[in-house]
Amino acid sequence: MQRKGRRRIKTAGELAVIILAAVLAGCGGSSGEEPATAAPQTGTYVEKEPPQENRVSDNMAVYADDDENSVVTMYLTVRQGTEGDNTNHTWTEINTYSAYYYDDNEIPRYNCEALLQIGDENGPAEGEFGYGETVANAAVQIRGQTSSKREQKNYKIRIKEEKGSWRGQRTIALNKHVGDPVRFRNKLAYDLMKNVPEMISARTQFVHLYVKDETEGGNGVFTDYGLYTQVEQMNKTYLKNHGLDNRGHLYKINFFEWYRYDALKLKSDPDYDEAAFEKYIEIKGNDDHTKLLDLLDKISDYSIPIEDIVEQNFDSQNICYWMAFHILTGNYDVGSRNYYIYSPLNSEKWYFISWDNDAAFSRTYHEWKDYSEGKSWEQGMTQFLHSALFERMFKVDRYRAQLSAAVEDLRANYLNREIMSQKISEYSEVVKPYVYRLPDLTYSLVSQENYDMLLNGMADETETNYQYFLESLERPWPFFVGTPYVEDGRLEVLWDTSFDMDNESITYSFALATDYSFQNILVQEEGLRLPEMTFDLLPPGQYFIRVRAKNASGYEQDCYDYYSMDSGGKAYGAKCFYVNEDGTITEHENTEGNETE
């Protein structure tokens, strides 16, 4: 207790406050004058737009030197390197094993050391990358997944860090596009989209590749490997070259429908498994997943209006133009894979970037082959609606209107028949001579006569796909069918409800058959108002269910389920299941195999 009349000693903190107050008082002047006041605002008031985040857009300067119809000649000398960097393999080994061999054995893909040189048809050229060099400046391996089973391989060349870059790129992907009869659909798509302000594209280049094999068993002379397409790899270097934030988040979508899958965790989570994470989305940029996972939680929270989520976390113009482009080009293989998402470091917004457009402009070829892909719900906007994000977003009228506006703009100004015909003609003049001479002639999918027929049909595909888009606006939405189960001595099956954009009433038809073409139907019902059906128990065997939705205007829609036919392609709207000997039910799992990169 402090005694009365005794002076209390001030603490160091109190002294500091007094000194600070004195200093501040001194700053105000010691002459006793009034402190200065702000100058009066005499300007005429004008309304100002509040600060807004800049819209992300592509850096058009990166395409300034593009010659879309040119062919770059690359010379690749391959050698055996060291075990330490996994380059101690022969060129024969590199080309023998598919990606599945490495996956099954849980080993990295084999590499060779490589000397990459750029030149012309005479040889490496002075002033070009690698000219005059004799020491390896790169490593090479196969790339792709299903495509790695093909005899003609795709390659990934990685230039060593101390050896510089080619056109600002150190990773060079060479794609053979063996499933593309015209061999330029992917490049055509990228070159078209780079002119669309709302989209972000990638640089491409036709490449004539020669390989000299100096590994064990090689012939030591340059061998013609034919025509490839080089596609710019999307990584931190890509972000920097395109004027984007290379500190930001970049993910490649492998299979992802905007759900918070169990494998998607933060790196700090004790159960984090990067390999499991990347089965859904590959990490190509910043690996702090907090922003992405928070967004997925919001999308799954139906108490948050989807409009709030879209406006805060996306650029709706970017989404709508990205979707519209793939709708009009008929690229049906993009709903849950084959694209990237990008977000700058200090932004909440995410942007869509296209990747692997091999399915684009394929309708004429598929119809000629009677191949069932890109049909049913994979036409128009419905190909995207199994995604949690898009299923919520496009139930909102204004986003559908925005998508329709993007479709109309692209159809009129970027993908019209005049533009398409000119591009197709120019590219075919470059590509066709390579396709119909060795070595590519051996693997050509069509005759020269049919090649020209496909070119003529491709120019009209945009208009055909536009009509499919208009039809998709009239149809009910697709939905998933559950696996049958035994209930009270009968089989019961449930399915999700469909949705109609005009709020029309919906009924369902149901069929059970022993074949996916539904020639041998066992049970059939029409006009069902509830999304369920029961029927008698079945003997052991393979069975197929078909459920269709029909609105009051008479438009029908298949369910999302399909059966991958042995001959290739899909039997749309057919869900396959098996009744086992013990009466249990097993759902059939489709094997995906339509990758053509």
pLDDT at residue 595 tops 50: no
pLDDT at residue 582 tops 60: yes
The C-alpha atoms of residue 85 and residue 563 are separated, in whole angstroms, by: 43
Q: How many CB atoms lie within 10 A of CB 542?
A: 13
**364 burial via Cβ count (<10 Å: 0-12, 13-18, 19+):** buried
**Confidence category of residue 15, pLDDT binned at 50, 70, 90:** very low
Give the H/E segment covering residue 413. Answer: helix 397-413
**Confidence category of residue 37, pLDDT binned at 50, 70, 90:** low
Query: Does the predicted TM-score (pTM) go above 0.75?
Result: yes
pLDDT at residue 412 tops 80: yes
The SS3 of residue 231 is strand
> Could you tell me the domains of the chain?
60-233 (no CATH), 238-473 (no CATH), 485-587 (2.60.40.10)
| Average pLDDT for 415-440 | 98
- Residue 495 DSSP class: B
**Confidence category of residue 46, pLDDT binned at 50, 70, 90:** confident
pLDDT at residue 5 tops 90: no
| Average pLDDT for 313-339 | 97
For the chain, what is the mean pLDDT? 92
Q: For residue 77, is it left (φ>0), alpha (ψ between -120 and 50) or beta?
A: beta
pLDDT at residue 381 tops 90: yes
The C-alpha atoms of residue 118 and residue 166 are separated, in whole angstroms, by: 9
4-13, 192-201, 515-524: lowest mean pLDDT where? 4-13
Both tokens of 149, joined, read 């089973």
In three state form, how does the secondary structure of 527-589 look?
EECCCEEEEECCCCEEEEEEEEEEECCCCEEECCCEEECCCCCEEECEEEEEECCCCCEEECC
> What local confidence, expressed as pLDDT, does residue 55 receive?
83
pLDDT at residue 288 tops 50: yes
**Confidence category of residue 38, pLDDT binned at 50, 70, 90:** low
pLDDT at residue 537 tops 90: yes
Q: What angle separates helix 316-329 from helix 397-413, to the nearest 10 degrees?
A: 50
Q: Are 430 and 206 in contact (CB under 8 A)?
A: yes
pLDDT-above-90 percentage for the chain: 88
Quick: pLDDT tens for 105-157: 999 999 999 999 999 999 999 999 999 999 999 999 999 888 899 999 999 99
Location of structure tokens 């593309």? 180
| Average pLDDT for 562-581 | 96
> What local confidence, expressed as pLDDT, does residue 35 receive?
52
Q: How many CB atoms lie within 10 A of CB 531?
A: 19
**Confidence category of residue 307, pLDDT binned at 50, 70, 90:** very high
Peptide bond into 433 cis (omega under 30): no
| Average pLDDT for 440-465 | 97
**Confidence category of residue 26, pLDDT binned at 50, 70, 90:** very low
> What local confidence, expressed as pLDDT, does residue 52 receive?
63
pLDDT-above-70 percentage for the chain: 92
Q: Are 560 and 377 in contact (CB under 8 A)?
A: yes
Exposure string for 552-571, b = 16+ CB within 10 A, e = fewer: eeebebbbbbbbbeeeebbb
pLDDT at residue 2 tops 50: no
pLDDT at residue 27 tops 80: no
Dihedral sign (CA 117, 118, 123, 125): negative
Quick: pLDDT tens for 163-177: 999 999 999 999 999
Quick: pLDDT tens for 211-270: 999 999 999 999 999 999 999 999 999 999 999 999 999 999 999 999 999 999 999 999
The C-alpha atoms of residue 433 and residue 440 are separated, in whole angstroms, by: 10
> What local confidence, expressed as pLDDT, does residue 19 receive?
37
**Confidence category of residue 13, pLDDT binned at 50, 70, 90:** very low
Quick: pLDDT tens for 76-100: 999 999 999 999 999 999 999 999 9
